[in-house]
Amino acid sequence: MDPLLRVHEAYKNGLIPEKIHSLIVKRFEVTLSGIQRIEKASGINFPLAYVEPSVVVSHPSHGSFDYGILFARTIPIISNDKLNVIIQITAPLVAYGLKGTIHAILAHEFLHYLELIRRISKMDIISDELSGNLFESSYTDSTKLFEPRAVFDDKTLLSHITKKFPEGFRDYKLEDKVLKLWIEKKLPIINIMMDTNIAKIPATVIANTTIDPSLLQKLDQIEQKASRLRKKKLY
pLDDT at 37 over 60: yes
State which H helix or E strand residue 189 sits in.
strand 189-193
Residue 139 is predicted with a pLDDT of 43
C-beta separation of 185 from 103 below 8 A: no
Which tens digit of pLDDT belongs to each residue from 203-232?
788 778 888 999 999 999 999 998 888 777
- Domain span including residue 34: 5-234
- Measured in whole angstroms, the distance separating CA 7 from the mean position of its chain's CA atoms is 18
C-beta separation of 60 from 195 below 8 A: yes
Partners of 78 in the beta sheet?
83
Residue 148 is predicted with a pLDDT of 92
| Sign, CA torsion 77/79/84/89 | negative
Structural domains of the chain, count: 1
β-pairing, 68-70 vs 55-59, is: antiparallel
Model pTM score: 0.87
C-beta separation of 218 from 117 below 8 A: no
